[in-house]
Structure 1
Amino acid sequence: MATVSFGGLGNGIDFGQVVTELVKIQRLPIDRLNEKKTALQSKLTDLGSLGTKLLAVQGAADALRLASSFDRTSATVSDEDVLSVSSSSTAVQGSYRVQVTQLATAHQLTNKAAKAVASLTADIVAGTSAAVSFRVGTGAEQTVTLGETGTLEDLRAAINDLGAGVTASIVNSGTEQAPAYRLVLTGTSTGAANTISITADGTALDLANTSGTGGADTLQTAQDAVLVIGNPAQTQLTIQRSGNTVTDVIPGVTLNLKKVTAGSDSVNVSVSLDTATVKDNIKKLVTAYNDVVKFIHERATFDPTTSKAGILTGESAVRTTLSTLRQAISGEVPGLSPYTSVGQVGFKTERDGTLALDEAKLDHALSTDYAAARALFIRQASVAGVAQRVTEAVDRLDELETGVVSSRKNSLTQEIEKMADSIQRKEDELAAYEARLRLQYAGLDRLLRQLQSQADFLRTRIS
């Protein structure tokens, strides 16, 4: 719209200011709508934050609602220099004395010193070609073939390219001035069953000893790990495994062997219930629940010091959320004994609605009747424990179509959109109103200036 200007204050009236003030008056309803819109947006933001906190409660409950959440074990060992230990949910409580009498190793061999090569670029093929064949354990025979100018480096690369369970490297067993390069073959897997056998060698290395002066030197034998379980003064079990990571001896327990025990020494491996992690998860549920309660109280109560109500005051969705969560956690779980509610294992509701946890009482419950404490929280065939109820409660509250929190957020979004449309329409109407005023007052301004000019003319004529 082209700017309409006024001719000045010669007539004693500032019409521009008049228009501005009239427009301000007409803008008051729009300002009130914007205030309502801002309040609705604040509600929507807070309900979004509430939804996030509800998901945190659900996440904490998820860590407690399954039987596996409580079927946790903790494995320890008396000497971690000998072995390390870890356990899964299938491990059973127990204590074991373990000796490590042998570690698993991979086979490693090299060509005889007499067949060492003085240069990495020297030709190790006597004729037009030469083949080297080997197998790992009872596996298929593997063969690499070198051309007439094949070198030790070529042989190393060819073996490594096979990816056949053997890696090749080169070491200098001589001096810097007089090198003596030798091929080293190392099995990629440990265990006696993975011994490397040279079946043919047509190169100058003569690993198969066709000349009578060749062959291979063993740098490290292929051997199994050997561990002994039991009291040395009583019956013991001797166990062999191909690797140093043993997963199938003690069910649910992984032993990582590191060092052979000295003499008849042994280490103690203990598997016990991991009540510390369970207790920590219960504390996390309390914390997440309290976070929701405090958030709602901050935003849905009247503050007497400021005489202002919280942004969520009067929201039924908030009241429903609080009562639903409270019932899910504090309500009795039927059909259980001796624990039928969380109050019996240390939960206590404070005056502000938050939960406090008597850790000594919880420790007592977990140590004296772990199965009953477990049943109070987990999902079962015939009854939903506390953690399962909380998970289901959050699902209902935040369900996309029917959940009270989601539904309220959807209705607020629609209200905000409608209000934004209404504000825009009123802004357009106000702009048109201002334009009309400026035209009308501009006309009035011109008329008054004309009248003023005529009056001035008449005064000059009369005088």
Structure 2
Amino acid sequence: MSTSTSSSTITFTGLGNGTDFASMIDKLVEVERIRITSLETWRKSWTDKVTAFQELNTQMLSLKTALEGMDTKGEFLIKTAGSSDSNVLAATAGADAQTGTHVIDVEQIAKNKIMVSQKGASTVTESINTSGASRIFAYTYKGKTYSVNIPAGASLTDLKNLINMDGDNPGVKAAIVNDGTKNYLQLRGMDTGAAATLEISASTTLAGFGSGTFTETQKNQNALLKVDGWPAGDDNYLSRATNSISDIIEGVTLNLRSAGEVNLDIETDQEAVKKNIETFVEQINTVRSMIKNLTQVNSSTHEGSLLTGNYGVQLIGSRLKEAVAGTAVGFDWNTDTYTALSAIGIKTDAEEGSVTAGLLIIDDAALDEALEKDIDAVASLFSAYYEGSTNSTNFSYASHIQGITQAGSYKVAYTVSGGVITAATINGHEATIDGNTILGKYGYPEAGLLLEVKNLTDGSYSGTSTMKLGKAGELINNLKDLTDSKTGPLAILEDNYNDITDMIDRKIAYEENRITLMESRLRERYARLDALLGYYDKLSTSLESQISQLDD
């Protein structure tokens, strides 16, 4: 067998004694690579866990997004406003609207001022300033006068554009209208109401377009209406400058379209509210199902899943279950109709072997009964959003700081001496006193909670202030913590697991380098052996030849 060598590679082309050193070396290298294969398998077990973390985190963020669409009563409690004649009036209702029927009598709708020039032009390009010099077109809108310079030779189109493109234009639109023979300039004040006056100013010097040369085609006016017969008296009406009115009936926006009388029915859309509840349950179950699949143990083989026993996933599961099963934050069973999801028929399926085991299930009969009994209380259970109140007439809730004050129940105590608050605590912590107000100090859950003292009679007083947060908001707060990119449990574990895979990568690189060097040394060693065996093979052949000659 001959050997071929170079500075970069060594190969074996065959030996006289039949020894295949190349295959021997390949087998030795293959045995050494078993450790790399083991390391790669080990690495994959960690990267699979990281991938599962990322998928679970994505699903929790989707849950958070879904809950953010129903964490206030305005989003959760769907109410409808039905008009008996939509040509007269349409309306929308918010969560604060009370159910019932209103009679709306629209005497007149609000209108804007419209006027048209008396002077017409045969074509829109015909010159309307034939003076040979620049002229002024001026109008007064809402009591303020605006002027536009009209150059010599300007057409009706030029006049329209100069008015509309004027940087000081306060909301007056110019247009060209045609009566079939001539073209005229139309001016419209864009705001409605009696105060939105529009007149041509006496300072106009453009001939044919001055004061007194325009015809009023629509008078600006306020909307006039009665709601449920109020205000009383034939000539008494509620007056508004706009046709979109949201300050007469709480939670209801009226959109007036024409004069007339309509019945307006405000109702709660129970099916829409139930759909929100079903979406709430479905979204939570999606996350629960994922956690269940990642952590379950096979009952037959007793083998665990990818993340069985993982403390980070267990923590997430426990936090979400506690938030779902517990009493809503700031709620009191003594005063609130519903304080937990179980009270309205939403529970975790505890039946082993059930396809929904560990997931939330809805008792439709119980839920329907709760919705019929007090749909507002059901909505509050899901979507109360930092609603402040107290159980005492001695002090009242005033305000809180969004994002700082935490929801919950707080014990309040204060002392009055000489008509002045001399001491006050919230949840046992000293509070800031300012006149007749008490403020929770920073560094505590009640930070930013402001209470107004009503009773300043000398003495000591106590009570409770609560800030309610529905289940949607409570879960959102938990999900914010659990999905935090730096402090969330999955983020911390992912960093740790990435460190492990980096360490394994270094081990694999070390092994790759070691095996490469080993293979190189083996090839050099067996190359020398190959050459030596070749030498002895030739020597043996020579000796055999010489012996054969001596025998002859």
TM-score category of the 2 structures, normalised to the smaller one: 0.7 to 0.9
Shift of 1:400: 5.4
C-alpha root-mean-square deviation of aligned residues, in Å?
3.1
- Residues 1:39 and 2:34 are matched in the alignment: no
- Maintained 8 Å contact 1:137/1:197: no
- Residues 1:408 and 2:493 are matched in the alignment: yes
Q: Which residue is 1:126 aligned to?
A: 131
Shift of 1:401: 5.8
Distance 1:307-1:169 versus aligned 2 partners, 3 A rule: same
- SS of residue in 2 equivalent to 1:141: strand
More displaced, 102-111 or 61-70? Answer: 61-70
Q: Which residue is 2:311 aligned to?
A: 316
Please give the alpha-carbon distance, in whole angstroms, between the structure 1 residues aligned to 2:359 and 2:25.
57
Please give the alpha-carbon distance, in whole angstroms, between the structure 2 residues aligned to 1:131 and 1:401.
66
- Which AA in structure 2 matches 1:216? F
Shift of 1:39: 1.0
Count, aligned residues: 446
- Maintained 8 Å contact 2:129/2:151: no
Q: Which residue is 2:183 aligned to?
A: 181
Q: Which residue is 1:243 aligned to?
A: 242
Which of 112, 133, 140 in structure 2 is aligned with 1:135?
140
Shift of 1:22: 0.5
Of all paired residues, the percent bearing the same amino acid is 29
Alignment of 1:288-327 (within 5 A): 288-303=283-298, 308-327=303-322
Which of 61, 83, 86 in structure 1 is aligned with 2:89?
83
Distance 1:288-1:166 versus aligned 2 partners, 3 A rule: closer
- Residues 1:353 and 2:358 are matched in the alignment: yes
Which digits, 9 at most, give the CA deviation of each residue in 1:359-390, with x for residues without a partner? 33122213313455455444554176544543
Which digits, 9 at most, give the CA deviation of each residue in 1:33-71, with x for residues without a partner? 110110111111112222233334444555565566666
Q: Which residue is 1:192 aligned to?
A: 194
Shift of 1:395: 4.6
Shift of 1:28: 0.7
Which of 201, 212, 216 in structure 1 is aligned with 2:214?
216
Please give the alpha-carbon distance, in whole angstroms, between the structure 2 residues aligned to 1:281 and 1:240.
38
- Residues 1:342 and 2:341 are matched in the alignment: yes
Please give the alpha-carbon distance, in whole angstroms, between the structure 2 residues aligned to 1:395 and 1:161.
49
Please give the alpha-carbon distance, in whole angstroms, between the structure 2 residues aligned to 1:59 and 1:69.
13
- Maintained 8 Å contact 1:77/1:85: yes
- Maintained 8 Å contact 1:100/1:228: yes
Distance 1:126-1:403 versus aligned 2 partners, 3 A rule: closer
Unmatched runs of 5 consecutive residues or more in structure 1: 210-214
Please give the alpha-carbon distance, in whole angstroms, between the structure 2 residues aligned to 1:375 and 1:137.
45
Please give the alpha-carbon distance, in whole angstroms, between the structure 1 residues aligned to 2:117 and 2:479.
70
More helix by share: 1
- SS of residue in 2 equivalent to 1:193: coil
Q: Which residue is 1:363 aligned to?
A: 368
- Which AA in structure 2 matches 1:4? I
Distance 1:42-1:461 versus aligned 2 partners, 3 A rule: same
- Maintained 8 Å contact 1:375/1:385: yes
Shift of 1:439: 1.2
More strand by share: 2
Q: Which residue is 2:155 aligned to?
A: 151
- SS of residue in 1 equivalent to 2:195: helix
Please give the alpha-carbon distance, in whole angstroms, between the structure 2 residues aligned to 1:375 and 1:153.
58
More displaced, 50-59 or 440-449? Answer: 50-59
Q: Which residue is 2:262 aligned to?
A: 267
Larger RCO (CA under 8 A, 6+ residues apart): 1
Which digits, 9 at most, give the CA deviation of each residue in 1:82-130, with x for residues without a partner? 3322233443434211233433332222222xx3223423353335343
- Maintained 8 Å contact 2:73/2:95: no
- Residues 1:437 and 2:434 are matched in the alignment: no
Please give the alpha-carbon distance, in whole angstroms, between the structure 2 residues aligned to 1:43 and 1:409.
8
More displaced, 282-291 or 436-445? Answer: 282-291
Shift of 1:26: 0.5
Distance 1:64-1:159 versus aligned 2 partners, 3 A rule: closer
Instruction: Report the TM-score when normalising by structure 2.
Output: 0.72
- Residues 1:426 and 2:511 are matched in the alignment: yes
Shift of 1:225: 2.8
- SS of residue in 1 equivalent to 2:313: helix
Please give the alpha-carbon distance, in whole angstroms, between the structure 1 residues aligned to 2:485 and 2:153.
73
Instruction: Report the TM-score when normalising by structure 1.
Output: 0.85
- SS of residue in 2 equivalent to 1:85: strand
- Maintained 8 Å contact 2:92/2:253: yes
- Residues 1:202 and 2:199 are matched in the alignment: no
- Which AA in structure 2 matches 1:251? E
Distance 1:408-1:144 versus aligned 2 partners, 3 A rule: closer
Which digits, 9 at most, give the CA deviation of each residue in 1:155-204, with x for residues without a partner? 222222332332222233344xxxx2322222222233323211234334
Q: Which residue is 1:212 aligned to?
A: none
More displaced, 43-52 or 322-331? Answer: 322-331
Unmatched runs of 5 consecutive residues or more in structure 2: 1-6, 352-356, 387-406, 410-465
Please give the alpha-carbon distance, in whole angstroms, between the structure 2 residues aligned to 1:153 and 1:63.
49
Distance 1:425-1:102 versus aligned 2 partners, 3 A rule: same
- Which AA in structure 1 matches 2:228? G
Please give the alpha-carbon distance, in whole angstroms, between the structure 2 residues aligned to 1:249 and 1:372.
25
